[in-house]
């Protein structure tokens, strides 16, 4: 240990470092193996009821996920072993050790050969960019705009204050001050705006957690970062809320330091992976064994999942399977998955009518291509404008247009800050109830959201009413506005279990961003070329994009402005004109949506054969989400723009008066 770099030969140094790494990796592997054995012995069956409450399994390729997360856990433990044994580690030695450990522990090398002539997207997103075939692929690390901030380079979440002495305030403490209260309802956006956001998010990013998921109570180990509950908490009478760290992979890029990164199990592209899956296996699981249609469960709902990751009310209830594994989180999300599974089959049948000579594979791929295009067009044409506002749409070239140009230098890979922070703005739009609205658009069956988490029974019982009932509600009622406030259903009762334990979603968001080393609010202000706040006032040099009430709450929650976390700082900003978010989130999301558009070789506005013929594209651009909902949820009438409340110019129309795609344009 006392060797000075000068005297030790290079080879001796390499051997010494490899030796330390080997020892640490072996110890970590052994501890993991014995723990796994203990867990298996205690396991009651599939463990579904326990796991549903607290964490997500984010993929159906559980083997691959296990490989990656076990490797990551070994990595993390080995490094923390090494560090705990040595107080001082110089940068260079730390870097070399981390690299040696990563090399021994990692399973992260796959060779990819691309079919350059392929006319359809791969299921796992590989080979979209032919020079960089892993860009946007599933099971890759999340990318970054800003370097991570960790207490130590190897990825211990930052808890030290950035601006003052001491540690950062706890996430629940912040949530109690900043995120408490009842927000107003939007005057323009329907609940569909919230629901599309979550459905879209589940096309873009799913971050797996480290391996142990079966904790009812707080865990205290390297893989956990349990959230403290203040003594005088207004709701919780427990001392902590469980939190499991995201899976870590070590980045071997040429940074001076080696950072740990998080994984995305989905494809970054907007490619309907929530419908078809992101793993090459998924397509085969979800697809009908004989044709190229997608499998259905009872009453043409989603098919049953192999794994039980939901609650059941009656014996015949079952958990849904879909392209994204989180389809059971709330019924209105399951509704969206059902609509788009049905849409695939609807498009498939229409294509079969005009091209009876196509085989099942061709029909599957062409239907998948159209469904992906529909989701892209709805996102940029209907969903994003009221969220980002016209100026941001224009600034980042997000409007649909006739002069699209793919740029193969743009890496569309979803950025860590998008999944861990900015695109979680939608959590503030989540309403208190899950509702079915009857055909008179008046009578309703309302269920508190906390009764519906991981409980698809609401859709399965009485399905003639449930599908159209959710459709009418989503398109009719306004969602809460995006602001600092969250409904108790997610702030106190998130994933409430039978034993009464639950979580706080905004607190989890704060902790997750710290877990991922996401830079604080002020750093993102700077990245967005917005002024940093030097004080808690709202005047020049302060929190200029906050109202004085919110600024005062941030002041109460934090000791220094540089400590403000990105999520509470940005979600509480005053909205841009005609937007649902303030300038910081608008900038972070605008940039990501720009990349998802211009860095996608299969973008729907590309010319045929990657995209469509001009006649076909025109058809896709005429289609609105309302038509897809009306056709697949079997509602009689719905307004054309279902993201905006019914108003003069946006009156309800009957299903047949809403424009459909003319599939004759696909006749060969």
Residues forming the active site: 202
Task: Tell me: does residue 271 bind Ca ion (CB under 5 A).
Answer: yes
Counting contacts by CB under 6 A, is residue 490 touching ligand HEM? Answer: yes
203 binds, among ligand HEM, Ca ion, none (CB under 5 to 8 A by kind): Ca ion
Residues 357, 360, 362, 368, CA torsion sign: positive
The neighbour count for residue 270, using CB atoms within 10 Å, is 26
203 binds ligand HEM (CB under 6 A): no
The reply on whether position 225 binds ligand HEM by CB under 6 A is: no
Report angle CA 261, 262, 265 to the nearest 5 degrees. Answer: 140
Of 636, 346, 55, 645, whose CA–CA distance to 338 is shortest? 346
Between 414 and 458, CB nearer to Ca ion:
414
600 binds Ca ion (CB under 5 A): no
10 Å CB burial of residue 164 (0-12, 13-18, 19+) is middle
Scanning 43-61, the segments in alpha helix (DSSP H) are 48-54
Residue range at the interface with ligand HEM (CB under 6 A); choices 199-207, 252-260, 468-476, 610-618: 199-207
Which of Ca ion, ligand HEM, none does residue 271 bind to, with CB < 5 to 8 Å depending on kind?
Answer: Ca ion
Distance CA 647, CA 415 (A): 37
Q: Which does 388 bind (CB under 5 to 8 A by kind): ligand HEM, Ca ion, none?
A: none
Buried b (16+ CB within 10 A) or exposed e, 193-213: bbbbbbbbbbbbbbbbbbbbb
CB atoms within 10 A of CB 187: 9
- Single out the residue of 175, 198, 273, 538 in contact with Ca ion (rule: CB under 5 A): 273
Our finding on whether 470 is near ligand HEM (CB under 6 A) is no
Please select the residue that binds ligand HEM; options are 74, 105, 143, 205, rule is CB under 6 A: 205
- Residue 265 or 522: which CB sits closer to Ca ion? 265
Binding mask 146-185 for Ca ion (x = CB under 5 A): ----------------------------------------
Name which of Ca ion, ligand HEM, none residue 189 binds, using a CB cut-off of 5 to 8 Å depending on partner kind.
Answer: none
Nearest approach, Cβ of residue 213 and ligand HEM (Å): 11
Q: Which one of the spans 122-130, 193-201, 403-411, 624-632 is the region binding ligand HEM (CB under 6 A)?
A: 193-201
Q: Does 376 bind Ca ion (CB under 5 A)?
A: no
> Which part of the chain contacts Ca ion (CB under 5 A), choosing from 102-110, 259-267, 284-292, 610-618?
259-267
CA distance 103 to 252: 9
Nearer to Ca ion, 81 or 273 (CB): 273
What DSSP character marks residue 479?
A: E
Among 521, 522, 548, 523, residue whose Cα is nearest residue 537: 548
Q: Is 267 in the site for Ca ion (CB under 5 A)?
A: yes
**Dihedral (CA of 367, 285, 57, 458) sign:** positive
Q: If binding is defined by CB under 6 A, does position 421 make contact with ligand HEM?
A: no
Per CB under 6 A, does 518 bind ligand HEM?
Answer: no
Work out how close the CB of 539 gets to ligand HEM at its nearest, in angstroms, rounded to a whole number: 32
Partners of 612 in the β-ladder: 607
512 binds ligand HEM (CB under 6 A): yes
Question: Does the footprint of Ca ion cover residue 605 (CB under 5 A)?
Answer: no
Can residue 279 be called a binding residue for Ca ion (CB under 5 A)? no
Q: How far apart are CA 338 and CA 660, in angstroms?
A: 19
**How many chain residues bind ligand HEM (CB under 6 A)?**
20
Residues 381-410 that bind Ca ion (CB under 5 A): none
> Which element (helix H / strand E) includes 437?
strand 433-437
User: What element of type H or E holds 435?
Assistant: strand 433-437
Please state the closest distance from residue 204 (CB atom) to Ca ion, in A: 6
Of 109-117, 265-273, 416-424, 495-503, which part binds Ca ion (CB under 5 A)? 265-273
Cβ-proximal residue to ligand HEM, closest one: 426
Dist. CA 658–CA 424, nearest whole Å: 32
What is the DSSP annotation of 160-213? B-SSSSSBPPPHHHHHHHHS-S-PPEEEEEEHHHHHHHHHHHHHH---PBPS--
Task: Single out the segment in contact with ligand HEM by CB under 6 A; choices: 65-73, 168-176, 424-432, 470-478.
Answer: 424-432
Cis peptide before 609 (omega within 30 of 0): yes
Is residue 249 a contact residue for ligand HEM (CB under 6 A)? no
305 lines the binding site for ligand HEM (CB under 6 A): no
Of residues 197, 323, 385, 542, which one binds ligand HEM by CB under 6 A?
197
Which C-beta is closer to Ca ion: that of 247 or that of 273?
A: 273
Q: How far is the CB of 128 from Ca ion (least distance, A)?
A: 10
197 vs 469 by CB, closer to ligand HEM: 197
CA distance 2 to 301: 66
Nearest CA to 189 among 386, 336, 472?
386
Chosen from Ca ion, ligand HEM, none, partner binding at 430 (C-beta under 5 to 8 Å by type): ligand HEM
In the complex, the smallest distance separating the C-beta of residue 429 from ligand HEM, rounded to whole angstroms, is 6
From ligand HEM, Ca ion, none, which one binds at residue 273 (CB under 5 to 8 Å depending on kind)? Ca ion
Sole binder of ligand HEM in the list 430, 437, 487, 596 (CB under 6 A):
430
Could you tell me if 598 and 405 are in contact, meaning their C-beta atoms sit under 8 angstroms apart?
Answer: yes
Kindly compute the dihedral angle of the four CA atoms of residues 214, 215, 216, 222, in this order, to the nearest 10 degrees: -160
Q: Calculate the CA 585 to chain-centre distance.
A: 15
Nearest to 571, CA basis, from 521, 536, 535, 522: 521
191 counts as binding ligand HEM under rule CB under 6 A: no
Count of positions on this chain that bind Ca ion (CB under 5 A): 5
Q: Does residue 443 come out as left (phi exceeding 0), alpha (psi in the -120 to 50 range) or beta?
A: beta
Give the DSSP H/E element, type plus range, for residue 263: strand 263-264
Residue 207 interacts with ligand HEM (CB under 6 A)? yes
194 binds, among ligand HEM, Ca ion, none (CB under 5 to 8 A by kind): ligand HEM
* Contact string (CB under 6 A) for ligand HEM, positions 136-155, x = contact: --------------------
On whether the CB atoms of residues 246 and 512 are closer than 8 A, the answer is yes
570 binds ligand HEM, rule: CB under 6 A: no
Segment lying near Ca ion (by CB under 5 A), choices 97-105, 155-163, 203-211, 343-351: 203-211
Interaxial angle between packed helices 360-378 and 331-354, expressed in degrees from 0 to 180 and rounded to the nearest 10: 130
Q: Which residues bind Ca ion (CB under 5 A)?
A: 203, 267, 269, 271, 273
Q: Which residues bind ligand HEM (CB under 6 A)?
A: 194, 197-198, 201, 205-207, 329-330, 419, 423-424, 426-427, 429-430, 490, 505, 508, 512
């Amino acid at each position: 240990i006392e060797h000075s770099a000068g005297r030790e030969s290079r080879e001796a140094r390499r051997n010494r470092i490899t030796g330390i790494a080997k020892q640490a990796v072996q110890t970590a592997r052994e501890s993991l193996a014995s723990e796994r054995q203990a867990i298996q012995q205690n396991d009651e069956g599939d463990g579904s009821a326990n796991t549903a409450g607290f964490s997500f399994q984010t993929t159906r390729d559980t083997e691959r996920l296990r490989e990656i997360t076990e490797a990551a856990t070994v990595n993390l433990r080995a490094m923390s072993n090494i560090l705990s044994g040595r107080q001082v580690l110089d940068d260079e030695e730390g870097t070399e050790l981390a690299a040696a450990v990563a090399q021994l522990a990692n399973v992260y090398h796959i060779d990819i050969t691309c079919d350059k002539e392929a006319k359809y997207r791969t299921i796992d997103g590989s080979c979209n960019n032919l020079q960089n075939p892993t860009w946007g692929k599933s099971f890759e690390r999340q990318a970054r705009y800003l370097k991570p901030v960790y207490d130590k380079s190897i990825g211990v979440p930052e808890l030290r204050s950035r601006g003052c002495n001491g540690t950062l305030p706890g996430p629940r403490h912040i949530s109690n001050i900043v995120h408490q209260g009842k927000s107003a309802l939007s005057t323009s956006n329907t609940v569909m705006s919230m629901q599309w956001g979550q459905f879209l998010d589940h096309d873009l990013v799913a971050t797996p957690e480290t391996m142990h998921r079966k904790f009812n109570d707080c865990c205290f180990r390297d893989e956990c970062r349990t959230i403290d509950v203040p003594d005088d908490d207004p709701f919780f009478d427990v001392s902590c809320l469980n939190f499991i760290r995201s899976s870590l992979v070590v980045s071997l890029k040429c940074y001076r330091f080696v950072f740990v990164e998080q994984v995305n199990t989905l494809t970054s592209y907007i490619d309907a992976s929530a419908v078809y899956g992101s793993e090459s296996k998924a397509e085969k699981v979800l697809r009908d064994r004989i044709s190229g249609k997608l499998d259905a469960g009872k009453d043409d709902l989603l098919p049953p999942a192999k794994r039980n990751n939901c609650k059941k009310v009656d014996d015949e209830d079952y958990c849904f399977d879909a392209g994204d594994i989180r389809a059971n989180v709330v019924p209105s999300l399951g509704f969206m998955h059902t609509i788009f599974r049905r849409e695939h089959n609807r498009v498939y049948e229409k294509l079969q009518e005009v091209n009876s000579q196509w085989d099942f594979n061709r029909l599957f791929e062409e239907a998948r291509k159209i469904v992906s295009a529909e989701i892209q067009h709805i996102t940029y044409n209907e969903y994003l404008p009221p969220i980002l506002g016209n100026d941001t749409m224009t600034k980042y070239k997000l409007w649909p247009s006739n002069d699209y140009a793919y740029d193969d230098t743009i890496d569309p890979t979803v950025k860590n800050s998008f999944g861990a922070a900015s695109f979680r703005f939608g959590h503030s739009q989540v309403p208190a109830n899950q509702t079915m609205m009857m055909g008179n658009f008046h009578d309703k069956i309302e269920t508190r959201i906390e009764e519906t988490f991981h409980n698809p029974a609401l859709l399965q019982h009485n399905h003639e009413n449930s599908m159209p009932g959710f459709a009418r509600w989503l398109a009719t009622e306004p969602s809460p506005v995006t602001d600092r406030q969250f409904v108790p259903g997610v702030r106190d009762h998130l994933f409430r279990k039978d034993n009464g334990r639950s979580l706080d979603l905004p607190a989890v968001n704060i902790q997750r961003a710290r877990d991922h080393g996401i830079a604080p609010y002020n750093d993102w202000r700077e990245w967005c070329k917005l002024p940093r706040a030097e004080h808690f006032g709202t005047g020049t040099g302060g929190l200029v994009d906050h109202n004085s009430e919110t600024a005062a709450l941030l002041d109460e929650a934090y000791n220094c402005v540089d400590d403000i976390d990105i999520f509470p700082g940005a979600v509480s900003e005053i909205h841009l004109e005609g937007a649902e978010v303030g300038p910081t989130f608008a900038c972070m999301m605008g940039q990501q949506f720009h990349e998802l558009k211009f860095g996608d070789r299969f973008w729907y506005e590309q010319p045929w054969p990657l995209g469509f013929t001009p006649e076909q594209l025109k058809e896709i651009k005429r289609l609105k989400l309302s038509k897809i909902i009306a056709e697949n949820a079997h509602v009689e009438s719905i307004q054309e723009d279902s993201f905006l409340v019914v108003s003069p110019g946006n009156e309800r129309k009957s299903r047949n008066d809403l424009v459909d795609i003319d599939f004759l344009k696909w006749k060969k």
